[in-house]
Structure 1
Amino acid sequence: MAQVDTDRFLRDLNELRKIGEYKTGVHRPTFSPEDMESRHWLMERMRECGLEASIDGIGNVFGRHKGPGPHLLVGSHIESQNQAGWLDGALGVMAGVALARAGLPVDVVAFADEEGHYGSFIGSRSLIGLLEDSEIDTLTNRYHGKPLRQALKEAGLEGLPRPRLDPARYKGFFEMHIEQGTQLESQNLRAGVVTGIVAIWQFRIVIEGMQDHAGGTTMAERKDAGLTAVRMLARIDREFPMLCGPRTVWTCGRIALDPGAPSIIPGRAEVLFQFRDIDTEVLERLERCMRSVVQEMNRTERTVSTVEVMSRSKPAPCDPAMQAALAEAATKHANGQWQHMPSGAGHDAQYMARVMPAAMLFTPSINGISHHWAEDTKEEDLALNIRIMADAAEAFLRG
């Protein structure tokens, strides 16, 4: 059996968190100096455990095992959200390094920009051929507007090749990740074997009314797009619980009113709305409900609302054989303290699942906190889960 060095694994994680340190978390936005420092630091760790390290033209860091296969691909990402946590992504990358150090035939990858500072999963999509140069030309940073091409040049990545993965090299892809929720901790569980990654369906709802004076226009005369938006969302929130699955979630992430002044009735409202589930039938049911509510609001309100599809991703079921290997290892190391569970968040694994078998292992998140500098996991749980991952990887390679 492979003997994973849990002490070294924890030391590596704690050393990485010093790069871009922010309070108890990290601030390593994609292609920032701190992010690039962490990528070069990672390449050194890869070389130390015998991997051939490289970085490509979109920022993916790759450690290639030099020996014979069959091989596994293991990894995640190491950039962070702004002023966020030290484990989101980094845990999965350093888990891959730990498995390589234990002598397992794994390639390790740190995908670029999983956190979406410049685009949607541009690193993992690049590796499977779903990122065209024409898209790179259009992408900009969502916070400060810097073009991606400029960021790549400043990071020293301009002109580097963007090779594609060879799926035939791999028996599968493993990703370890923090749960980013409370399901494990609330049940005193220490590990989660992921059954699949949810699809995210996103919509823009535009409501057109009439901009007018907030004092001179009577309530009977108003065509208030803002109030229509509020009533519409309240109606959707009442209807969805009767149609959703056990782990469906929905979110209104933005309501923008135009012109957005206190003494002007808003003539236009833009609502960004999404829902997530692992079951496509549930997603389709929710979309029909949402559109029905919009249609009904157009009948009863003095405004006109339209729905635009922004994106409809696909659920990514985890590979049954890889799940079984994780479950067997979890039973060995945490008998009675683990469960099967879906992932409510998106991960690079959902793109790897398009070209090879893929699976994920979750560690508990203290108080469910993530995308915040207070994000944390007990070190004993981190050590337990790397042992689960090592045993599962070895068993799956033998199977």
Structure 2
Amino acid sequence: MKVDTDGFLADLQALRRFGAFRTGVHRPTFSPEDMEARHWFVSRLREEGLEAEIDGIGNILGRSPKPGPHLLAGSHLESQNEAGWLDGALGCVAALHLARAGLPVDVAVFSDEEGHYGSFIGSRSFTGLLEEAEIDRLANRYHGKPLRDALREVGLEGRPRLRAEPGRHKAFLEMHIEQGRQLEGQGLGIGVVTGIVAIWQWRITIEGQQNHAGTTTMAERRDAGLTAVRLLTMIDEEFPRHCGERTVWTAGRIALSPGAPSIIPGGAEILFQYRDVDIEVLRRLEGVLRRCVAESNRRERCPAVLEAMSLSTPAVSDPALQDALAAAAEAIAPGRWQRMPSGAGHDAQYLARVMPAAMLFVPSINGISHHWTEDTSEEDLALGMRVLAEGARRIIEG
């Protein structure tokens, strides 16, 4: 399958100028820079003969005039704050160049994958999982602007929201940077994604007794902070005995109350998450977490309460699509690819609910992502484009 990799790289570089920040981009959802990028992308879709529009949630859809069966491909254009130039943008430009190469591909750009206003609002809207009532409630996590106000300010208020057309698409494909070091560390150029991990998020609340740090003896104390530290240590010792090969876990927030240096903490809150692509591993670790909390409550003076915040479902890539991408990778880069799970969430996990879906990874230099130093070599970008195109051809003709 022939693709213009020079044109592909040129379009990536052109998109990079919208919201340029150091060597990366700062392109928050519905910012002027984000909207400039969206309108530029619509113009590029139209230049390539696609019928393109922006819908009422900020999604872009470019429809191919070619006869079916069609593929759907894409990603997102907005960025995290002061972040990388490839995260999301790569998948959008790759989809554009699948269509440019003559394949019957519709191009999708999903709004706010990075979560400035909500959780995957674009891909959830496209797949029928975003209700109007949720749009009414959502606001920007950084400056508090309601989503409805943002949509009105950028001229999207009142536009209909596009939905996936039943029966039109044979599959969804998304190319992305790995956002880790597995490929680079093994000298590989391509990752065929086996599935997207689920994130199980928990809140642990610990109740102690706030008191004077100088006059309360150690024997009298009910220190919620120390209980939190000991509980996390126990969890970190137990999880390696029960986790999967690529399970990860993080205590992303530990808040002590009242948080003053001369006051014994009367309360502690821990936000704890773990990720894996295997539902059985996730369930097993839930049991480990519950046992650790129970053991803490047996030992400690400060009781802990465990609360589930969100328990998502892993999205397994379609096996036939995986095989087509793997065959393309072996044909173009023999021995320089592997199958691997995605440790981060992507729009593909929601598209997988309504059609077969798969992803292709290219390496991230030093594993960096969500930072302005994020980068991938032009050689690896071009290789990924060639493999994606060949894989798409095999899927369409298969």
* TM tier relative to shorter chain: over 0.9
Q: Deviations over 1:353-390 (max 9, x none)?
A: 00100000000000000000000000000001100000
Deviation of 1:331 (Å):
0.6
1:259 lines up with 2:258 in the alignment? yes
Matches of 1:301 and 1:334 in 2, distance apart? 56
Matches of 2:99 and 2:222 in 1, distance apart? 63
1:150 lines up with 2:149 in the alignment? yes
Q: Deviations over 1:336-358 (max 9, x none)?
A: 11001011111000000001000
- TM-score (normalizing by structure 1): 0.99
Deviation of 1:268 (Å):
1.1
Give the aligned residue type for 2:360: L
Deviation of 1:167 (Å):
3.5
Give 3-state SS (helix, strand or coil) of 2:162's partner.
coil
Counterpart in the other structure of 1:74: 73
Which residues of 2 match residues 318-357 of structure 1 at below 5 A? 318-357=317-356
Deviation of 1:219 (Å):
1.2
Flag structure 1 segments of 5+ consecutive residues without an equivalent. Answer: none
Give the aligned residue type for 1:204: R
Matches of 2:162 and 2:55 in 1, distance apart? 7
Deviation of 1:177 (Å):
0.3
Give the aligned residue type for 2:180: G
Q: Deviations over 1:255-290 (max 9, x none)?
A: 111111111111111111100001111000101111
Matches of 1:212 and 1:167 in 2, distance apart? 62
Counterpart in the other structure of 2:41: 42
Q: Deviations over 1:307-328 (max 9, x none)?
A: 1111111111111111111111
Deviation of 1:213 (Å):
1.1
Ranges of 4+ aligned residues in structure 1 off by more than 4 Å: none
Give 3-state SS (helix, strand or coil) of 2:133's partner.
helix
Deviation of 1:67 (Å):
2.2
Q: Which moved more, 1:156-165 or 1:47-56?
A: 156-165
Matches of 1:204 and 1:145 in 2, distance apart? 23
Counterpart in the other structure of 1:315: 314
Matches of 1:395 and 1:238 in 2, distance apart? 46
Counterpart in the other structure of 1:362: 361
Give the aligned residue type for 2:389: A
Deviation of 1:225 (Å):
1.1
Matches of 1:172 and 1:141 in 2, distance apart? 32
Q: Which moved more, 1:340-349 or 1:298-307?
A: 298-307
Counterpart in the other structure of 1:293: 292
Give the aligned residue type for 1:190: G
Deviation of 1:191 (Å):
0.4
1:239 lines up with 2:244 in the alignment? no
Same amino acid, percent of matched pairs: 70
Count how many residue pairs are aligned between Structure 1 and Structure 2.
398
Q: Which moved more, 1:67-76 or 1:149-158?
A: 149-158
Matches of 2:305 and 2:110 in 1, distance apart? 36
1:199 lines up with 2:194 in the alignment? no
Give 3-state SS (helix, strand or coil) of 2:321's partner.
helix
Give 3-state SS (helix, strand or coil) of 1:160's partner.
coil
Matches of 1:58 and 1:221 in 2, distance apart? 56
Matches of 2:140 and 2:230 in 1, distance apart? 33
Give 3-state SS (helix, strand or coil) of 2:149's partner.
helix
Counterpart in the other structure of 2:122: 123
Which residues of 2 match residues 99-114 of structure 1 at below 5 A? 99-114=98-113
Q: Which moved more, 1:105-114 or 1:134-143?
A: 134-143
Counterpart in the other structure of 1:84: 83
Give the aligned residue type for 1:200: I
- TM-score (normalizing by structure 2): 0.99
RMSD: 0.8
Give 3-state SS (helix, strand or coil) of 1:174's partner.
strand
C-alpha contact (below 8 Å) 1:167/1:356 kept by paired residues: no
Matches of 1:52 and 1:32 in 2, distance apart? 24
Counterpart in the other structure of 2:132: 133
Q: Deviations over 1:56-107 (max 9, x none)?
A: 1111111111221100000000100000000000000000001111111001
Counterpart in the other structure of 1:180: 179
